[in-house]
Amino acid sequence: MENRILYILIVVLFFIVSCNKQKSLTPAEYISWVNENEYLIKEQKLEPYIYSVRLIPYEFNIAKDIEKNVLEKAQIDSLKKVYSPFVNFIFKISCNDNATSPLKYNVVSNEEFSNRLQYCSFNIQEDFRLIHNKDTVFCTNAHFIQEYDLRPYNIIILSFEMDYEKLLLSKEDLILVYEDYLWGNGIIKFKYNKPDLECIPNLKY
């Protein structure tokens, strides 16, 4: 029993230390943090597929814009008004073998592949919703990225109309729900606890 309590304390201490992030990061630091930080990624494995989502803070987009151009504060404030009303995710699905695209896995005809491609391009948006503080928000936009067999996975960029600033101030968890009609694995949930959201730094500019 004592060993178990000690283990829990070590895990909690590790989380606190590893999540003791800088409160503000430069644009370059912010981009690296988002690309490398595991707290933003949630994953579910349902044979033979692996589903994962990465939360993309809106300041990530501003950081990329700053890196590309010299922007005045007024311009950055304008970008903030454009990006902050949305919560974005990168949704990724791959196969366990990491060799076959899910779009082609167990496909028996060109027609079946074409139907899957069509569904991802035009219909899959309806299969996502975001739950926060008893509110349910449906996906505003789902942009399917066609890999053309270059990579053994598929990516969809998801956007939800939800005030990002209020989300961070809230004490409620954030849950992304995917109803998998295409690959037949039913309802899949990705949960972001409050500590996950508290780890996200601010952008310094």
| pLDDT at position 1 | 54
pLDDT tens-place string over residues 40-81: 999 999 999 999 999 999 999 999 999 999 899 999 999 999
Q: Which residues partner with 175 through β-bridges?
A: 131, 191
Taking the C-alpha atoms of residue 113 and residue 90, their distance in angstroms, rounded to an integer, is 22
Phi, psi of 39 (to 5 degrees): -65, -20
Q: What is the dihedral of CA 124, 195, 40, 59, to 10 degrees?
A: 90
pLDDT at residue 84 tops 70 = yes
What's the average model confidence in pLDDT over 99-120?
94
State the average pLDDT for the chain. 89
pLDDT digits over 114-173, tens only? 999 999 999 999 999 999 988 999 999 999 998 877 889 999 999 999 999 888 888 899
Residues 12-21, mean pLDDT to the nearest whole number? 47
Strand segments, DSSP code E, in the chain are: 24-25, 41-46, 49-56, 86-95, 128-132, 135-145, 153-161, 174-180, 186-192, 202-203
The domains located in the chain, with CATH, are 22-203 (2.60.40)
Separation of alpha carbons 25 and 85, rounded Å: 21
60 in Cβ contact with 30 (< 8 Å): yes
- Residue 11 has what pLDDT? 40
Lowest mean pLDDT, pick from 20-29, 32-41, 61-70? 20-29
pLDDT of residue 106: 92
